[in-house]
Structure 1
Amino acid sequence: MTATMVMGLASILFLFAIIIGVMLAFARFGKGNNPPPVLVWWHGAFAILGFLILLYGAFFVGYPATATTGIVLIALAAIGGLIMHFKYDRRRQLIPVFMVWVHGVVAVVGFVMILYAMLNIADTTRL
């Protein structure tokens, strides 16, 4: 398995997480209450699967520095997501809008860095 394949699979899962994350953000901003739990769990499930696949690739395949930086940013976004869930959502408190924005921006920047590394890697011809 090549680094491109690992990052590609993780990117597909992150794309699903991003789509659901946008739905979560609209639900939080639109109604003035926290989003529905089922969307939160699906968002987390796709993000966790993508992150675990990236970790597998980091330990067993190897990535360029850009992808490694993207993984660190996604890990920071995951920590922010866990804080939003356990500190606010589970206690039935409104999630601060600032945290939603920071979580989303950091995650998307990490995702774009992984995409950039995947598209610029030299081993795309080996499948």
Structure 2
Amino acid sequence: MDVASMLQVSVLLFLVAALGGVTMAGIRFAGKHNPPAWLAMFHGLLAAAGLTLLAYAALAEGVPAMAQLALLLFLVAAGGGAVLSLRYKWNNLLLPAWLVIVHALAAVLGFVLLAAVVLLGADG
């Protein structure tokens, strides 16, 4: 698989993961309860697949600087997601709004950068 294809598939994986993320954020901010575990796991699985593919493309093949920055932002988002899951969800604590927002902002910014590389052919 060539780099362009890997980046395209990564964007699609992150896009579907983002739909789950938006749904979970809506659940969290609509009331004082956390989203269901199955949705969080599905979201994390898709995001991890996209992250793994992007990391492979970056390390094995080389990607533009904007895609490298997207990778860094997705790693930050993954760290936030891990904390949300392992510290809060696992212990049945309400997800802190500030961490949900930071997690989402890092992921959205990473997605915008990666999508720009794919859609616009940005060299970064």
Paired with 1:82 and 1:60, the residues of 2 have a C-alpha distance of 25
Deviation at 1:88, TM superposition (A): 0.8
Q: Between Structure 1 and Structure 2, whose CA radius of gyration is higher?
A: 1
Residue pair 1:4, 1:121 contacting (<8 A) in 2 also:
no
Is the 8 Å Cα contact of residues 3 and 118 (structure 1) preserved in structure 2?
A: no
Unaligned runs of 5+ in 2: none
Identity %: 35
1:113 equivalent in alignment to 2:117: no
Q: Distance in 1 between matches of 2:30 and 2:10?
A: 30
* Letter paired with 1:24: M
Aligned length: 123
TM-score normalised over the length of structure 1: 0.92
Per-residue deviation, residues 35-60 of structure 1 (Å, max 9, x unmatched) = 10010000001000001111111122
Higher RCO, 1 or 2 (CA under 8 Å, sep at least 6)? 1
* Structure 1: 5+ residue stretches without partners: 123-127
Contact 1:11 1:115 in 2 (8 A): yes
AA in 1 matched with 2:112: V
Aligned to 1:101: 101
Deviation at 1:31, TM superposition (A): 2.2
Q: Take 1:25 and 1:59, find their aligned partners in 2: how far apart are those partners?
A: 32
Matches for 1:6-25 after TM superposition, within 5 Å: 6-25=6-25
Instruction: Compute the displacement of 1:61 (Å).
Output: 1.7
Give the aligned partner of residue 47 of structure 2. 47
Contact 1:74–1:106 (CA under 8 A) maintained in structure 2: yes
Runs of 4+ residues over 6 Å off in structure 1: none
1:71-94 per-residue CA deviation (whole Å, 9 max, x = no partner) reads 000000000000111111111111
